[in-house]
Amino acid sequence: MPRNPGRHDLGLRASLLFPDREIVERYYVPLVYTACRTCYSELEPDEIFRRAVDGRVDPDRQRELIGRVIESGHGSTIEHIVFTFGISGVSRTLSHQLVRHRAGVAFDQQSQRYVKYKGASTMEPGSIAEAEPALRERYEGQIAGALDLYGDLLAAGIPGEDARFVFPNATRTNLVMTANFRALIHMSGLRLCTMAQWEIRRLFQLIRHEIFAVSPFLGSFLAPKCVPLGYCDEAGNRDGHCPIRPHKDAVLAAWAERAKGSRAGRELPAPEAADAEATP
């Protein structure tokens, strides 16, 4: 089982910039409810929304419908609500992974062209921090050397957009990320998985924490993808080392075994056996 990155303070942060708890409580669940209910109602959306916001529709009933719709995979209903995060102190290693998500998500990132860093800050992985001191010192020396050279290049008049070529992947960066709720569930499914890289996994633990703080109901949908699926589909977990859910191979094998048992005695004889029986 990979170590839980949550045990280390990595110096990275994720804060929910928008919306606040009041907006989420008052409008977000009614908004998603309205999207779901519009599909099955003669009422116009603004009437459904007003009834949901002013409490004429029991909030438990709203949540129950939303839960059912999400479980059924009707994801467009949750694209109507978005969350904006300020993400800071993450490494460029992380940001490169994060911006691979394209659907339903927007990013703005601190520019290494326009910012002339006086003291660029870097991330040290726990495995290196706890490594044999001589090795750790070589790592730290290499990083410090790269940052020193960056300063020398700037001082010599090299533009920031070129001097930044010496920056290591460990260099920290800041982003603003806005994601609709469908995208956030999808990203969390991948990035909360124990197969995800430790730093991005930690980021999504913080993101989940922020959503929980404004809505435990919505926060409950942010989970490793195996949780809603009921099984793990990661090839790297065929050995079952991550125990959150059984691997799909194990689930299918158990299913096949059970199906075989339930058909016992009812199968047609195999062709060779039938031939042998027919031969006098």
Binding site for ligand FAD (CB under 6 A): 100-103, 186-187, 190, 195-196
Report the nearest approach of ligand FAD to the CB of residue 279 (Å).
56
Distances in whole angstroms, Cα of residue 51 to Cα of each of 9, 21, 63, 69: 45, 20, 14, 19
Q: Which is nearer to ligand FAD, 108 or 162 (CB)?
A: 108
Please compute, for residue 38, the number of CA atoms within 13 A of its CA located in the half-sphere on the CB side.
14
Active site residues: 191
- Residue of 93, 103, 92, 108 lying closest to 176 (CA atoms): 108
Smallest separation (angstroms) from ligand FAD to the CB of 179: 9
Listed residue (5, 237, 241) closest to 127, CA to CA:
5
User: How many angstroms separate the Cα of 13 from the Cα of each of 88, 124, 206?
Assistant: 5, 15, 7
The whole-angstrom separation of Cα 225 and Cα 228 is 6
Which lies closer to ligand FAD via its Cβ, residue 12 or residue 192?
192
Q: Which residue, 166 or 195, is less far from ligand FAD as judged by CB? A: 195
Identify the three-state secondary structure at position 232.
Answer: strand
Q: Shortest Cβ distance from residue 28 to ligand FAD (Å)? A: 21
Buried b (16+ CB within 10 A) or exposed e, 197-212: ebbbbbbbbbbbebbe
Residues paired with residue 177 on neighbouring β-strands, in sequence order: 85, 107
Nearer to ligand FAD by Cβ, of 19 and 189: the residue is 189
Torsion of CA 170, 92, 176, 29, to 10 degrees: -100
CA distance 75 to 276: 56
Minimum distance between the CB of residue 35 and ligand FAD, rounded to whole angstroms? 19
In angstroms, what is the minimal distance from the CB of 94 to ligand FAD?
12
Which residue lies nearer to ligand FAD by CB, 29 or 190? Answer: 190
Closest CB 32 distance from ligand FAD, rounded Å: 19
Return d(Cα 75, Cα 183) in angstroms, integer. 9
How many whole angstroms separate alpha carbon 224 and alpha carbon 208?
11
Question: Which CB, 100 or 266, lies closer to ligand FAD?
Answer: 100
